[in-house]
Structure 1
């Protein structure tokens, strides 16, 4: 018997039958989609109405009872929430008084102002001085240029309203996140209880919380601020848990040896030691707070968000882009300042006492000058405003550019839109809507079982089944279809760009600049020029989602390729591999777990943007959430938001499990 004959049975035995599972499931799926009507039982293709759970009605009834009937004896629940709103309005009113409205009392004709809001030049001096103290001359120049941009382009007033809201929201969100995170570190049961709520808060659309906040706390900036805090707090909680647990055991042992109480150990040793990492969480809170300023303006937040929203409703391209760019500038300034502050907290104090004293003196002098000019502005109010004659505006140029593109390339743009709809969007939409709900739930369970075990499979299957029980299955599949197509397109663009830029520093700098702009530009701003060019519809939504969600696909692909150990590259080079072979057989395969995590983040951003694209005519769960806000139907809005959150959690758990499994196979750790 030959050696080949002897080895053949071993090959057959070692062939993993599990590899046939996914092709078999794909074949079955295609067959089920193409079956004629009536071939399957009716209950498999459309979830029976008799099986639906009236969750939306129950929620609406409960909220009505809570606000109209429920009480604690001496006061009602409505009184309690209004009192909380009044307390939270105090720091917000104080910040607005200093930055935007002036210090005084009363409203309307009865308003008495004893001091104006800080004038633009005083804020510029104070901001530059603080930036120089924290990050040096380069940061000071950036802060100065950014603040001057806001004044020159006439966005100062709106920017200060937005800044006051963001500062208060970020402070409350950071403190609240820190306290919750510390509680999770101390008590494991608290972490188990909080973790699902964090998942929901991060994946549920902000539109879904706006209506409950509006009902509980009333229309106005406080409701918007609370919704912002709920959206922005989860990263701070997670960062706190990771940062406190990462503190070296030696510090804990030192605290125990010196007789520290639990409170002293936490606040005098653990928190200061973890401060650089905690500042990363603060930075995330600030960025997320800025990300929802436009949405929050729907319930009275005002500021730049209201300016963008008004421009979008009136299709004023130039004004909307200018206000959106102002939000981007504000986001960049706060981001860079927070990053510099995080770096500074991790550095040892200045050793040269004379240099440190000189910096403190310069900072004090700058603040004194800013204060003196503020007093002068109170005496001579006319100098506090930036002169109208010196203001600039790019709004007409943006409007003219979009109008020229629309007129010149109208036929081409319409052809692109029609081709994409007929050959990509329409087939994908038909496929998604033809999937039997029972088979989709079964696929989710099987995927969970294969990637993470019984607990993951059954848990994700329960979430998929919960979507069906709400009666929103068809709408949810429209969400899956549009989000899925957008993620595929974003990955087809982002992964190759990230892989190409990973080993080319000059190209990476250019790519990073573009994706930084895409991530800091408010999501609403994408819609304005795209709507003018392609009109409303799914294709317009697709472009906006891809622009917003492509950044993580690029970043993670570049990061994964760049992190491949140099020793492996050297070994491949020594074996005679070409540059292309090194890329395709070494770098990309080893970077696949990181690329999968980038795809996961792309899915999350696509789902968050999908809700906003409801403004341009989509008919998915985002539209359900938005229409519920317009109709004040809190139950419908929350249920639609929960369905979006369930889809996001299913995708997140499956992709994360796949990435972890791939890492284990490659010996890279979990």
Structure 2
């Protein structure tokens, strides 16, 4: 044996850890150390922002709004006169829709009012709904429209439903058309898209409560202010869908327009928009659903309808009446959603085979006109008979009373468990975080995921939240939203995996998700307020139920889109079902799941503002109290803070999803 062979073997080299892998564990350790630091160890300004450092924007915004409405002028007319003229113009289509559907044609006011014609009678509206559903999508939709409208009449929700329907129809038409025009402008001029993009982000993430007070000041108390707030909230999806749909039009269509000598206007309205119509109808559907989602909030400034009924019931703690009105909104949402989907599918199929259906619709319109004339001659025909009405309100009230009496101890135990073991510790942890450290971590995350630009955006937004003076409320918002999103993902991801693997489970979850997405947000609060009273736990349940739908849907979609060849390759290499799930399906579906997490977070933030009505002490409460105090500056600053939290999360999660897609080679 040689000397070389006799030498002891050299020790194996220690594996080197990449600095990036140590960064976030180190950040986590420092964060815990800062939270656990004894009192006085950190500078006082890092724990609580000094009042002298705060921006003080709220009084300045309020003063500006006061000057705008009392002193600002365009020369020939004042700003107040201008906004009131806009309100008068917008009130014309709204009043016309309400006259047709709800109030009838009335001339004069008060004791001098004279009714010239009644609204469309309930049975005529049911017939029209059946005919329209048949014309758009066949027998199935016709039956659904008939049953849904009959439900509204039988359970005494017809009057409120027609007021809501009038508001939603006008808001949706104006929002869809305005969004289409703005989207076309963004396609034509990139500068418009760059300018509009941040405004769309704000409109989608700022709570509707924050819109209400400025609209109230600009346009006065009443349904027009509510309609403007609804349009602002519902328009962004239409703008984004329009941009994507027009840019997705095949180049052959554009070339054909050039070859046939079309002008730019003809190309847009006769070639591009008709070709993109199926995709544009998806945007219209989103506008309708978002409009319905805010009808209760809009009722706070005079919108009326079913939203006002739900709000009144919530204030009276009348669960039965609130659920009946809330279910009526849900029924209306389902009918409008299915009708819009039918229009979209019809646009895809073209006009072939629909001539007979259209003939049936025209015949139904003639019948409705005859019934309307009969109701004008005999007004009693227009009203649904009181003796035929049903109500489930007493049953719901009795059910809640029985649950409270029978299961009070168990319900209280669940509530106390979550409060003591999850909510209170997380809340204390978030409130103990020094604001400079949070701003630094958010900026670092932006830099690691998206470079200097994303770091600057996320860092400046975090700094704005801190300097606004609302840091404690913002941390409560982050805590409630974070816990709610975590629970929603823990529930939604396994259900999504089951739905992707089992067709029967997929059908069941699709129905459940559709129901969760059409229920108005206020409806989630009513039963849980009855069971658990007001507080963070009630808010948490409402947030989880409202936000879980995207987690389920995106997980199921992501897993089902994985190429079967990849799964087969894993099986051939001996992967068990569990290994295939953990090592192939979940990693490849992670980018989609991150997008679902993003949407879950957006819905949680939206719901969190609503939960201010059940006693949470977060930014939503700041916005709600500002509305009650008519403090427009405070409401807008708090709303901006909510919007910035949403934008920060959206940008970081989108960047993380993009990087992960590149790493996995998914484009």
TM-score, normalization by structure 1? 0.97
Rounded Cα–Cα distance in structure 1 between residues aligned with 2:362 and 2:351: 19
CA contact (8 A) 2:446 2:454 kept: yes
Deviates more, 1:388-397 or 1:299-308: 388-397
How much does 1:33 deviate? 0.4
Rounded Cα–Cα distance in structure 2 between residues aligned with 1:385 and 1:548: 36
Deviates more, 1:219-228 or 1:244-253: 244-253
Which residue of structure 2 lines up, in the alignment, with residue 662 of structure 1? 660
How much does 1:36 deviate? 0.6
CA contact (8 A) 2:135 2:354 kept: no
How much does 1:225 deviate? 0.2
Which residue of structure 2 lines up, in the alignment, with residue 166 of structure 1? 168
2:620 pairs with 1:618: no
Which residue of structure 1 lines up, in the alignment, with residue 18 of structure 2? 16
SS in 2 for 1:104: strand
How much does 1:447 deviate? 0.5
Which residue of structure 1 lines up, in the alignment, with residue 439 of structure 2? 441
- Within 5 Å, which residues of 2 pair with 1:38-187? 38-187=40-189
SS in 2 for 1:279: helix
Rounded Cα–Cα distance in structure 1 between residues aligned with 2:350 and 2:160: 38
Deviates more, 1:151-160 or 1:15-24: 15-24
Spell out, residue by residue over 1:22-51, the C-alpha distance to the aligned partner (whole angstroms, 9 max, x if none).
Answer: 111000100010001111112222222111
Rounded Cα–Cα distance in structure 1 between residues aligned with 2:359 and 2:596: 46
Which residue of structure 2 lines up, in the alignment, with residue 571 of structure 1? 569
Which residue of structure 1 lines up, in the alignment, with residue 453 of structure 2? 455
Which residue of structure 2 lines up, in the alignment, with residue 264 of structure 1? 266
CA contact (8 A) 2:480 2:540 kept: yes
Rounded Cα–Cα distance in structure 2 between residues aligned with 1:358 and 1:623: 54
Spell out, residue by residue over 1:97-125, the C-alpha distance to the aligned partner (whole angstroms, 9 max, x if none).
Answer: 00000013112211111110001111111
How much does 1:356 deviate? 4.8
Which residue of structure 2 lines up, in the alignment, with residue 248 of structure 1? 250
Rounded Cα–Cα distance in structure 1 between residues aligned with 2:522 and 2:496: 25
Rounded Cα–Cα distance in structure 1 between residues aligned with 2:453 and 2:348: 41
**Aligned Cα root-mean-square deviation (Å):** 1.5
Rounded Cα–Cα distance in structure 2 between residues aligned with 1:36 and 1:162: 56
Spell out, residue by residue over 1:418-465, the C-alpha distance to the aligned partner (whole angstroms, 9 max, x if none).
Answer: 111111111001100000000000000110111111110121000000
Spell out, residue by residue over 1:580-614, the C-alpha distance to the aligned partner (whole angstroms, 9 max, x if none).
Answer: 22112111111111111111111111111111101
Distance 1:8 1:212, change over 3 A: farther
- Within 5 Å, which residues of 2 pair with 1:463-478? 463-478=461-476
Rounded Cα–Cα distance in structure 1 between residues aligned with 2:316 and 2:15: 67
How much does 1:7 deviate? 11
2:362 pairs with 1:360: no
SS in 2 for 1:71: coil
Rounded Cα–Cα distance in structure 2 between residues aligned with 1:597 and 1:361: 44
How much does 1:412 deviate? 1.1
Rounded Cα–Cα distance in structure 2 between residues aligned with 1:361 and 1:607: 47
How much does 1:496 deviate? 1.2
Distance 1:593 1:358, change over 3 A: closer
TM-score, normalization by structure 2? 0.97
Rounded Cα–Cα distance in structure 1 between residues aligned with 2:358 and 2:261: 35
Rounded Cα–Cα distance in structure 2 between residues aligned with 1:453 and 1:639: 28
Deviates more, 1:526-535 or 1:427-436: 526-535
SS in 2 for 1:397: helix
Gaps of 5+ in 2: none
Rounded Cα–Cα distance in structure 2 between residues aligned with 1:471 and 1:316: 37
Deviates more, 1:212-221 or 1:359-368: 359-368
Distance 1:5 1:224, change over 3 A: farther
Rounded Cα–Cα distance in structure 2 between residues aligned with 1:7 and 1:492: 44
Matching residue within 647, 650, 653 for 2:648: 650
Q: Which runs of 4+ in 1 moved over 4 A?
A: 4-9
Rounded Cα–Cα distance in structure 1 between residues aligned with 2:211 and 2:102: 27
2:236 pairs with 1:238: no
Which residue of structure 1 lines up, in the alignment, with residue 200 of structure 2? 198
Matching residue within 394, 415, 423 for 2:421: 423
SS in 2 for 1:409: helix
Figure out how many residues of one structure are paired with residues of the other and give that number. 662
Gaps of 5+ in 1: none
2:592 pairs with 1:589: no
Rounded Cα–Cα distance in structure 2 between residues aligned with 1:349 and 1:613: 46
Distance 1:600 1:360, change over 3 A: closer
Which residue of structure 1 lines up, in the alignment, with residue 558 of structure 2? 560
Rounded Cα–Cα distance in structure 2 between residues aligned with 1:356 and 1:644: 47
2:287 pairs with 1:285: yes
Deviates more, 1:61-70 or 1:515-524: 515-524
SS in 1 for 2:298: helix
Distance 1:95 1:621, change over 3 A: same
2:396 pairs with 1:398: yes
SS in 2 for 1:114: strand
- Within 5 Å, which residues of 2 pair with 1:476-555? 476-555=474-553
Distance 1:5 1:450, change over 3 A: farther
SS in 2 for 1:392: coil
Which residue of structure 1 lines up, in the alignment, with residue 602 of structure 2? 604
SS in 2 for 1:167: helix
Rounded Cα–Cα distance in structure 1 between residues aligned with 2:523 and 2:357: 40
CA contact (8 A) 2:285 2:341 kept: yes
Distance 1:578 1:39, change over 3 A: same
Spell out, residue by residue over 1:2-30, the C-alpha distance to the aligned partner (whole angstroms, 9 max, x if none).
Answer: 9x989965x845x4321111111000100
Matching residue within 382, 399, 408 for 1:384: 382
How much does 1:152 deviate? 0.8
SS in 2 for 1:289: helix
CA contact (8 A) 2:135 2:360 kept: no
How much does 1:515 deviate? 2.1
Deviates more, 1:578-587 or 1:590-599: 578-587
Distance 1:251 1:226, change over 3 A: same
SS in 1 for 2:106: strand
How much does 1:360 deviate? 3.3
Rounded Cα–Cα distance in structure 1 between residues aligned with 2:9 and 2:549: 52
How much does 1:542 deviate? 0.7
Deviates more, 1:264-273 or 1:321-330: 264-273
SS in 2 for 1:174: helix
